[in-house]
């Protein structure tokens, strides 16, 4: 794909954001990363969970790392690329036992709390993941340790200049379909969405009270179009998306928009960038060739129709799996997650907007 083609793509895909004028600095702020498998760099390697919530085996990581790291992709994630754009090294998993706090104190880059399978609701895959509330607890511990090591003034500076990244909600909405749960029959859909976004709001406000001011969010993609959800309705011979799941994502995205706008109005100094992950992913699914892919619906790794059965790597209940030769030709890496190429395109799209523009992620990194 030519450089000119990339430029056209980036301009055409919408980005939702909010920011105001601030004085700028070239020092990259630290990153505190929360969420699910779209951001998890390997925290689930260090908890007692199943292989359904782990990716620490081949062929995960084959493209960039040439080994499994725990990331649910063939390589890096959006959060990795954003960090690298901001001149950070890869942000480490909070639970990594090799992470030496004393060694990183002189050049603190942040930490990643995200956990594959996590939701905003503690009931989502309960006992197998690090839910959002627990991730907040880990953040509080991190801040307390920073305060002991660096003092209150420097810790306050870190908290206020850091960028807080969130990818959460997907598992809250797909788990009822995967587990055949009745929760969506128990609550009206609007009420269930309010529960999810309400828990997210509680965590964001808790961070704000501790000095956090700059936040980045992904909205939810076309959930029902993931290969792992397409196959849940086998009677759909056309291979259409599971609309019930996608409709929930639309409700969530509308509520998230409203929530963040309200928080910006009511919380002094609160700044946010909301990336339209839904539109970006939908365009790649529908028009893969336009973005340099050959396949937008079928996963690179898995088995069954669309390679939608979550068997990549052969370590899960279904052992058989297919593996494509070139992941860069695919939007989806496995039944639910994207390839490094897709993630990189999205991160580059966010970063290309200059910090002088009001709708810019980079402003959060360069302006305090």
Give residue for tokens 């305060």: 147
Backbone conformation region of residue 34, classed left if phi is above 0, alpha if psi is from -120 to 50, else beta: beta
Assess contact for 367 and 97: CB atoms under 8 A. no
334 is a catalytic site residue: yes
Selected catalytic residue, list 17, 172, 337, 360: 337
37 is a catalytic site residue: yes
DSSP 52-93: GG---STTTTTTTTSS--S-SSSS--HHHHHHHHTT--PPPB
Token output for 86: 């901001």
**Rounded distance, CA 66 to CA 213, Å?**
37
**Rounded distance, CA 259 to CA 65, Å?**
37
User: Nearest-CA neighbor of 42 among 108, 89, 112?
Assistant: 112
Assess contact for 263 and 274: CB atoms under 8 A. no
337 is a catalytic site residue: yes
Burial class of residue 289 in the structure, from the number of CB atoms within 10 Å of its CB (0-12 exposed, 13-18 middle, 19+ buried): exposed
Assess contact for 41 and 112: CB atoms under 8 A. yes
Selected catalytic residue, list 37, 115, 335, 360: 37
Assess contact for 183 and 234: CB atoms under 8 A. no
Assess contact for 150 and 101: CB atoms under 8 A. no
Could you list the active site residues?
37, 334, 337
């Amino acid at each position: 794909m030519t450089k000119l083609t990339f430029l056209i793509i980036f301009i055409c895909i919408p980005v939702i954001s909010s920011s105001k004028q601030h004085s700028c600095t070239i020092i990259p702020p630290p990153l505190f990363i929360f969420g699910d498998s779209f951001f998890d760099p390997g925290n689930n390697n260090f908890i007692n969970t199943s292989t359904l919530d782990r990716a620490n085996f081949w062929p995960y990581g084959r493209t960039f790392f040439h080994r499994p790291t725990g990331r649910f992709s063939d390589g890096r994630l959006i959060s990795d690329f954003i960090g690298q754009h901001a001149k950070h090294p890869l942000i480490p998993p909070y639970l990594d036992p090799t992470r030496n706090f004393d060694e990183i104190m002189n050049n603190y880059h942040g930490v990643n709390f995200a956990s594959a399978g996590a939701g905003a609701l503690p009931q989502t895959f309960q006992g197998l993941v690090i839910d959002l509330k627990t991730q907040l607890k880990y953040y509080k511990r991190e801040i307390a340790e920073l305060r002991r090591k660096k003092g209150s003034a420097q810790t306050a500076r870190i908290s206020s200049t850091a960028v807080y990244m969130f990818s959460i909600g997907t598992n809250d909405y797909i788990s009822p379909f995967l587990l055949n749960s009745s929760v969506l029959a128990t609550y009206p859909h609007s009420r269930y969405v309010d529960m999810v976004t309400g828990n997210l709001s509680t965590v964001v406000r808790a961070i704000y009270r501790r000095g956090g001011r700059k936040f980045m969010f992904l909205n939810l993609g076309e959930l029902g179009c993931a290969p792992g959800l397409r196959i849940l309705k086998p009677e759909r011979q056309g291979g259409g998306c599971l609309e019930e799941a996608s409709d929930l994502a639309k409700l969530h995205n509308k509520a998230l928009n409203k929530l963040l706008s309200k928080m910006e109005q009511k919380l002094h100094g609160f700044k946010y960038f909301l990336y339209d992950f839904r539109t970006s992913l939908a365009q790649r699914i529908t028009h893969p060739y336009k973005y340099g892919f050959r396949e937008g619906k079928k996963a690179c790794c898995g088995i069954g129709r669309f390679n939608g059965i979550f068997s990549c790597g052969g370590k899960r209940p279904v052992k058989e799996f297919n593996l494509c030769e070139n992941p860069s030709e695919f939007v989806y890496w496995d039944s639910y997650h994207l390839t490094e190429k897709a993630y990189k395109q999205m991160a580059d799209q966010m970063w290309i907007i200059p910090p002088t523009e009001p709708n810019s992620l980079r402003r959060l990194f360069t302006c305090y």
